[in-house]
């Protein structure tokens, strides 16, 4: 071939006023039309384009590239890389051919765009699956919940790789983040605090990327919860307060965060701040809702009985046995009013344990033993660190001089030890952390 730096390819590119990006786009489109599926990803780098048009090649490109060039420009490949004729004929304009080519190009690009999205039906199903899991979390084995949440997050990520539609990308980020938040909850309930913390931070990052503040707030509250279970109450109070600054939160979200903040102040022994936060958590809302805590709900929600249970624990941390008893009784009554299928064993068990502790504080050992009845109904797979921390507090209180020599206290203490030993987190060897964290 001639080493003349000018080529017919250069002339034809100039006639079409193609820049590199225009040529590369046209080349890729032509490749999809003439090559088999395995080779349709063929493209041309900018450096290669410059060499081709300047005539700085010693041999013809590969067979596939030559086929695409000949289809694109209607000229034999060997002629394209040789010096142009002294007078290059202007291609004859044919309106019908031009329209046909334009129509083919439009069809090919529309087909390409269609292949870069996913069906709304697929997205609807994933949304329903995540919602169903969130609402059924309290009645699901923690092991099963973890596996299901992991599968849902992976599915959301796989679908996200298949779509370039911005609205679908955003929704899949939110759904992946919700699944990640449920994974964090399950990891916590299995006693893996480090894993729960990492997963909760990932959920917050999904929320930040998707610009979905309710998810960021939920994850922030979970991080606060993990912090005070791992002996960091000041950090827990900071995280819970920070999460309340996000916009677009409904009343349920704010109630949950205030209750978590109250517990953190209870661990710090800051009675004034704890009582203030409890008051905020119990105040009437303003009728605001959000798409996570209210629309999805379930584990993302915060029922009135769960609120009462949480505030009972705060009262116990502050040494207020009477307040704890009132809140625990209220929690159990509210839970009892629900249909059995929607009742949370974790909540009823937690409230019952707090009620038992409150009764022990006023010397009622028989009443405490009676209060513990709902606790024994919680299956091993649902005995979360929160519940184990509450039963451990009952166990410690039974060592008081008033009780420790009585047969009722001995039997109750042994029952609690068996209950703890058979829990999922203790079977995994991760169950000591929360109990140690709450012994103060």
8 A C-beta contact, residue 116 and residue 281: no
The whole-model pTM stands at 0.73
User: Which regions of 139-198 does DSSP assign to beta strands (E)?
Assistant: none
pLDDT at position 3: 46
pLDDT of 381-414, one tens digit each?
A: 888 888 999 999 999 999 999 998 899 999 999 9
User: What mean pLDDT value characterizes the chain?
Assistant: 87
CATH homologous superfamily for the domain 120-302: Tetratricopeptide repeat domain (1.25.40.10)
**What is the pLDDT confidence band of residue 22, given thresholds at 50, 70 and 90?**
confident
Mean pLDDT is lowest, of 27-41, 220-234, 238-252, 406-420, for 27-41
- Reply yes or no on whether the pLDDT at 429 is more than 60: no
Q: Which of 230, 248, 282 is nearest to 239 (CA)?
A: 230
Q: Are 378 and 385 in contact (CB under 8 A)?
A: no
* Residue 434, pLDDT score: 44
Q: Where are the alpha helices (DSSP H) in 4-141?
A: 8-15, 20-34, 46-54, 63-73, 77-80, 95-114, 120-136
Reported as a pLDDT band with limits 50, 70 and 90, residue 177 is: very high
Residue written as token pair 């929704």 = 171
φ, ψ (nearest 5 deg) of residue 311 = -70, -30
pLDDT at 123 over 90: yes
For the cut 90, the answer to whether the pLDDT of residue 313 exceeds it is: yes
pLDDT tens across 51-61, in order?
888 877 888 88
| CATH number for the domain formed by residue range(s) 304-440 | 1.25.40
Give me 164's structure tokens: 């370039």
Report the C-alpha dihedral over residues 417, 418, 420, 423, rounded to 10 degrees: 170
> Could you count the other beta carbons within 10 Å of the beta carbon of residue 108?
14
pLDDT in tens, 73-117: 888 888 888 887 764 444 555 666 566 666 666 655 555 555 578
d(CA 318, CA 415): 27
Q: Give CATH 1.25.40.10 domain extents, the chain.
A: 120-302
């Amino acid at each position: 071939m001639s080493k003349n730096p000018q080529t017919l390819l250069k002339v034809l590119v100039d006639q079409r006023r193609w820049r590199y990006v225009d040529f590369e786009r046209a080349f890729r489109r032509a490749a999809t039309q003439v090559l088999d599926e395995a080779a349709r990803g063929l493209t041309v780098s900018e450096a290669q384009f410059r060499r081709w048009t300047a005539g700085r090649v010693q041999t013809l490109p590969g067979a596939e590239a030559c086929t695409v060039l000949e289809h694109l420009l209607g000229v034999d490949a060997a002629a394209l890389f040789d010096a142009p004729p002294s007078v290059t004929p202007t291609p004859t304009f044919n309106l019908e051919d031009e329209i046909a080519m334009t129509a083919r190009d439009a069809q090919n690009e529309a087909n390409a765009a269609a292949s870069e999205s996913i069906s709304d039906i697929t997205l609807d199903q994933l949304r329903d699956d995540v919602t169903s899991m969130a609402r059924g979390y309290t009645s699901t084995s923690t092991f099963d919940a973890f596996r299901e949440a992991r599968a849902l997050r992976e599915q959301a990520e796989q679908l996200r790789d298949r779509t370039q539609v911005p609205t679908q990308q955003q929704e899949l980020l939110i759904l992946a983040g919700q699944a990640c938040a449920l994974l964090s909850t399950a990891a916590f309930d299995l006693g893996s605090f480090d894993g729960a913390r990492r997963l909760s931070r990932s959920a917050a990052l999904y929320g930040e990327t998707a610009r979905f503040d309710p998810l960021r707030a939920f994850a922030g509250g979970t991080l606060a919860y993990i912090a005070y279970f791992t002996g960091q109450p000041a950090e827990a109070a900071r995280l819970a307060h920070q999460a309340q600054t996000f916009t677009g939160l409904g009343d349920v979200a704010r109630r949950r965060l205030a209750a978590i903040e109250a517990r953190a102040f209870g661990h710090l022994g800051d009675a004034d701040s704890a009582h203030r936060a409890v008051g905020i958590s119990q105040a009437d809302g303003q009728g605001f809702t959000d798409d996570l805590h209210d629309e999805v709900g379930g584990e993302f929600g915060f029922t009135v009985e769960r609120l009462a249970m949480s505030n009972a624990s705060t009262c116990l941390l502050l040494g207020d046995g009477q307040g704890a008893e009132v809140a625990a009784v209220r929690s159990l009554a509210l839970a009892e009013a629900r249909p059995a299928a929607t009742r949370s064993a974790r909540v009823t068990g937690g409230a019952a344990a707090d009620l038992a502790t409150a009764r022990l504080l006023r010397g009622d050992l028989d009443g405490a033993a009676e209060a513990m009845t709902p606790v024994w109904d919680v299956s091993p797979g649902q005995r979360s660190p929160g519940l184990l921390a509450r039963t451990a507090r009952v166990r410690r209180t039974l060592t008081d001089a008033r009780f420790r020599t009585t047969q009722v206290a001995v039997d109750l203490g042994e029952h609690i030890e068996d209950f703890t030993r058979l829990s999922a987190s203790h079977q995994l060897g991760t169950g000591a952390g929360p109990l140690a964290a709450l012994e103060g």
